[in-house]
Amino acid sequence: MSSTSSSCRRRPSSQELKCFGLDLSAFVLVLFACAGLAGCGSTTPSMSAPADSSAPTINSFAASPGSINAAVPESINSGSSSTLSWSTSGATSIAITPGTFTSTSASGSTGVSPTATTTYTLTATNTAGSVTSTQTVTVNAGSEPTISSFTASPTSINSGSSNTLSWSTSGAASIAITPGTFTSTSASGSTIVSPTATTTYTLTATDTAGSVTSTQTVTVNTSTEPTISATWYISTTGSDSNGGTSPSTAFATFTHALAAMAGCDTLIVESGYYYDQITPQASNSGNVSSSGCYTTIEAATTWGVTVDTSTQPSTSYISSLNIGAGVSYVDVYGIKFAGNLANTYSTGPVFIEGNHIKLQKTAGYNAPCAATAGSAWNVANYTVTNASYILIEDSYAWGCGRYKFEDYQSDHVIFRHDVARNDYAGDGTGTATMDQCAGFVQYSAGPAIMQNDIYLDSGTVGNTTGGMYGGIWVPNDDPIDSSGTYEGDIILNVNTVGGAIYDPALTGGSGGVRIINNVAIVNATAGYLGDRQNPYWTTTSVSLLIDHLTEVNIFGPSIGSGNWASGVGSLDMSNNNFTQQLTENSVIEDMNVFGMSGYMTSNYNIFWNNPANFGTVSYLGPLPTAGANDRLSTNPGLLYPVRVEPGTPGYGTASDGGNVGATILYRIGTPGTMWGDTGYDTLTSISLWPWSDEATIKTDMASFSMVNPVYGGTISGARGFAATGNGLYGGPITLTSYIWEALGNACPDTICQ
C-alpha cells in the first residue's frame, strides 16, 4: 500500500481488507474511530491495546494492631509499628502515601512506623482511572507515670528530730525528692529526712513520656505549740527500708525506729524476741513544749515481747533497756527484758538514768549470776541511778542478780505493785554466795515510795543464805534526805541477815522521815531492823513511824546469830537519826525472841504468843515498855496476813479508828501516776486481788533453774508460790492464794476462784 498526497486515505478494496483480517463493517468502525480521534492526516493507521472499561475498586484498607472502623483511628505507642493492609479489584498498581511504597498486588500489607499521628492514603489505579482510601494511625506521646501517694510521717516534728517520707508510684522509671539529692528506681519506698526548718518536699516521678510531681510539707516546730504525735511499728519480720508506719511496713531494729521517732511519738512493738537494745536518745524525749506528753514504747500484746541481750558482747555495759541521762518523759509498757548471764561488767537487763520515766508491766531477768571467779556481782535487774521522777509499776524480777529493784542516788522514785524474788547471787569468786542482796533497795537515795510491792521466797538455804539483807533495804552513806514511805507491802518467806525491812545509815550518811504503813511480814528471820548510826544527822522533827504492821512467825533463832534482829519483830538500835521511833496499831505474833527492842516506843499494839513482848541486850539499846493502849496477851484472831476480820480484837480498834494490823486490799496510788501527780499516794478503790498477771509471773519465775556452784544441787524456780499443786482453797496455787493462805487458812471464795 502506497501513500498519496491527499488529505484522506483511499478506501481499501475488499480484497485488501481481507488481508488485514477485517470485513467491511469492521473496517468502517475503525475508519470512523481514526477520523474521530486522529483525523486523517496520518499516512499509516494507528493500533493500541484494548482499554479497561471501569476504574478499580478498594475492598478494604486497614491499620493493625486491631481491626478498626474508619471513624475510630487505631493507636500505637511512639516508636512502635502498625501494619497497613489492603484488598483491591481491577487495579494494576497501588501506592501508599506519605512515603514511596508501591505494589502491583491486588492485596497485601506493609509496615509503617510513624513518629506522629499520620493519615495514610491508598491509591489504586488502572487504565480506567484511580480510586483512594485513607486510614489514620494515631501515635500517642506515651503515658506519663502516676503518683499514688506521697506522705510525710509525722507531718510535724521538733527541730533536731527526723521524719519519714514515703511514696507509691506507677509507671515511673525513676523518682527524685528535692530539696536534697535523693533518687530511687523503686516504684514505692521511703527515706528519712531531718529538716531544720519547715520544708516542702517535692517528689518527681519520671518515665520516657515525661514527669509528674507531688509535694508534702514537714513542719518543724520551734514555737511552744505541742507536736502531733505519730505511731510507728517494729516487727521481727520487718525491714528498716520500710516506712514503719503500719504493721505491714514495720521497721526491724529499735535503733532505726528510734531514729525516726520524735518526742511524744508511740512505737508499737509486735510480738517476738528482739536481740538488740532499746536505747532512747534525748531527741526521743517527750514533754514537747512543756505539754507533759510521753514518748511511748509499747508491746502490741502485753508480755508478748522480749528484748534479749544474750547475744551481745559480754565484756561491755549493754542492757536490754538503757535510758540514759538527758532522756526524759518516756513510757515503756508490756515488755520483758532479758540480760546476758555471761556479762562481766555488772550490767543487768534494765538501766535508767533519765527523768520522768515510766516502766509499766515490764519484767527483768537473766542478770549475771556471778557464779564464777571474775564474774560480775554488783548488779541489779532494775537499776535506777542518778535519776529523778521514776515509776516502775506492775513489774516483776527474778533469777540471779544482787538486787531486783535498785534506787541508787536518785530521787522521787516509786516502785509500785511490783513482785521480786532472789534466786541466786554469787560473790564473783565462785566460792561463796554474795553479801548484801535484797529485793527493793533505796541506796543513798531519796525521797522514795514503795507501794503494794511483794518480796517472797528468797534467801532459802543453798540459794542466798547468809547474803540476804532484806526484802526492803535502805542503806545510806550520803548526806542527803533519804526519806521513804513503804506502804501496802508484803514480805513473805524470806531468810535474811538483816530485817525483812533493814534501815541502816552508814558512816557519812544522813536520814529522813520513815513511814512504814500497812505492811505484812510473815515467815521471816527478822522484822524491822533500824540501825541509823550517823551522828552527823542533826535535823529535828524527823521520825520513824511503823503503823498498821502485821508480823507473824519471825523465826530467827537468837540475837547475835549472824543477825542483830534475829527473832525480833521491831527493833531500832540507835536514836541518832530519829527524834521519835514509834510502832503502833500493829499485830506482833509468834516472835521467836522479842516482840520489840531498842529505842522503839509502843502503843495500840496487840502482842500474842511471844517469849517476851519486850527485851534487849547490851548493844541493842534500852528496854522498851508497854504503851497505855497495848494489849500484851490477846489473840488477834488473824486468818489472813492482809485482812482483819470483823469481830476480832483488832477490828476497828486502832488509834485512828481503823484496824490493828495490816489491811492490804486495794491499790495504793492511781495506776500510771508519777510522784506529785493527783492520786499518786492515795488509797484507790481498785482491788489488789486476785493479783494482776499472776499466771504470767508464776510461769516465768517457775522456769528458773541452775546448779548451785557453792552448795551443789539444783536451785529450782518452781518453789513457794511458783510450785505445782493446789492451795488450801482447792484450786492451783497462785500468788494470791499463796499470800492469803500464809497463816494456814484457805483463801476465801470471794478472793480465790
Q: 364 has which bridge partners?
A: 337, 397
Q: What is the model's pLDDT at position 433? A: 67
642, 645, 650, 655: CA torsion to nearest 10: 70
Exposure pattern of 656-681 as b/e (b: 16+ CB <10 Å)? eebbbbbbbeebbbeebbbbeeeebb
Residues 575 and 586: their CA atoms lie apart, in Å, by 21
pLDDT-based confidence at 67, cuts 50/70/90?
Answer: very low
**What nine digits make up the cell of 577?**
537519826
- Of 484, 465, 303, 475, nearest to 396 by C-alpha is 303
Q: What is the model's pLDDT at position 69? A: 31
Query: Domain 146-221, CATH 2.60.40.10 — does that match?
Result: yes
pLDDT digits (tens, 9 = 90+) for 403-455: 999 999 999 999 999 999 999 887 766 666 666 789 999 998 878 999 999 99
Question: Which of 37-51, 455-469, 559-573 has the largest mean confidence?
Answer: 559-573
Per-residue pLDDT averaged across 598-603, rounded?
Answer: 91
Q: What is the model's pLDDT at position 542? A: 58
pLDDT digits (tens, 9 = 90+) for 101-128: 999 999 999 988 887 788 989 899 998 8
Higher pLDDT, 663 or 289: 663
Of the candidate ranges 184-188, 298-302, 398-402, 478-482, the one whose mean pLDDT is the lowest: 478-482
Mean pLDDT of the chain: 83
pLDDT digits (tens, 9 = 90+) for 136-174: 888 766 678 889 889 887 787 776 677 788 888 888 889
Q: How many helices (H) and strands (E) does the chain have?
A: 5, 53
The enclosing H or E element of 27 equals: helix 24-37
Half-sphere exposure of 341 (CA within 13 A, CB side): 13
Evaluate the CA torsion angle 660, 661, 666, 668 in order and state its sign.
Answer: positive
Provide the CATH number for the domain formed by 57-140 in this structure.
2.60.40.10
Strand 199-207: give its sheet, edge to edge: 156-158, 210-221, 199-207, 174-178, 182-184
pLDDT-based confidence at 746, cuts 50/70/90?
Answer: very high
Contact between 92 and 124 (Cβ < 8 Å): no
pTM (2 decimals)?
A: 0.71
pLDDT-based confidence at 505, cuts 50/70/90?
Answer: low
Q: What is the model's pLDDT at position 28? A: 33
C-alpha distance across the termini of the chain, in Å: 144
Residues 599 and 596: their CA atoms lie apart, in Å, by 9
**What nine digits make up the cell of 103?**
505494589
Amino acid letter at 65? P
pLDDT-based confidence at 36, cuts 50/70/90?
Answer: very low
Amino acid letter at 407? D
Contact between 183 and 173 (Cβ < 8 Å): no
Q: Which residues contact 710 (CB under 8 A, 6 or more apart)?
A: 426, 430, 431, 432, 433
pLDDT-based confidence at 540, cuts 50/70/90?
Answer: very low
Q: What is the model's pLDDT at position 35? A: 37
pLDDT at 7 over 50: no
Q: What is the model's pLDDT at position 577? A: 54
Per-residue pLDDT averaged across 469-473, rounded?
Answer: 89
Higher pLDDT, 116 or 254: 254
- How buried is residue 484: exposed, middle or buried, by Cβ count under 10 Å (0-12/13-18/19+)? buried
pLDDT digits (tens, 9 = 90+) for 180-209: 999 998 888 888 888 988 999 999 999 877
Indicate left, alpha or beta for 185 from its phi (over 0: left) and psi (-120 to 50: alpha). alpha
Q: What is the model's pLDDT at position 142? A: 61
Q: What is the model's pLDDT at position 244? A: 96
Share of the chain above pLDDT 70, in %: 81
Strands (E), 319-410: 321-323, 328-333, 335-338, 350-352, 355-360, 363-365, 380-385, 388-393, 396-397, 403-408
- Of 467, 449, 474, 311, nearest to 401 by C-alpha is 467
Which residue in this structure is represented by grid cell 513542719?
A: 219
What's the DSSP call for residue 580?
E
Contact between 444 and 475 (Cβ < 8 Å): yes
How many residues are there in the chain? 753
Higher pLDDT, 226 or 338: 338
pLDDT-based confidence at 288, cuts 50/70/90?
Answer: confident
Higher pLDDT, 321 or 579: 321
Of the candidate ranges 269-278, 283-292, 331-340, 387-396, the one whose mean pLDDT is the lowest: 283-292
Q: What is the model's pLDDT at position 318? A: 84
Share of the chain above pLDDT 90, in %: 52
Residues 95 and 132: their CA atoms lie apart, in Å, by 9
Q: What is the model's pLDDT at position 650? A: 97
**Span(s) in the chain for CATH 2.60.40.10:** 57-140, 146-221
Contact between 365 and 335 (Cβ < 8 Å): no
Rg (C-alpha) for the chain, rounded Å, is 49
pLDDT at 630 over 90: yes
pLDDT-based confidence at 82, cuts 50/70/90?
Answer: confident
- How buried is residue 418: exposed, middle or buried, by Cβ count under 10 Å (0-12/13-18/19+)? buried
Which residue in this structure is represented by grid cell 476462784?
A: 753
pLDDT at 60 over 60: yes
Of the candidate ranges 169-173, 211-215, 325-329, 602-606, the one whose mean pLDDT is the lowest: 169-173
Per-residue pLDDT averaged across 289-304, rounded?
Answer: 93
Which residue in this structure is represented by grid cell 521511833?
A: 581
Q: What is the model's pLDDT at position 235? A: 98
φ/ψ (deg, to 5) at 693 = 65, 20
Residues 514 and 503: their CA atoms lie apart, in Å, by 9
- Of 405, 451, 404, 407, nearest to 425 by C-alpha is 404
pLDDT at 248 over 70: yes
Pairing between β-strand 93-97 and β-strand 666-668 as defined by DSSP bridges: unpaired
pLDDT digits (tens, 9 = 90+) for 687-736: 999 999 999 999 999 999 988 877 778 889 999 999 999 999 999 999 99
Distance of CA 104 to the CA centre of its chain: 79
Higher pLDDT, 80 or 237: 237
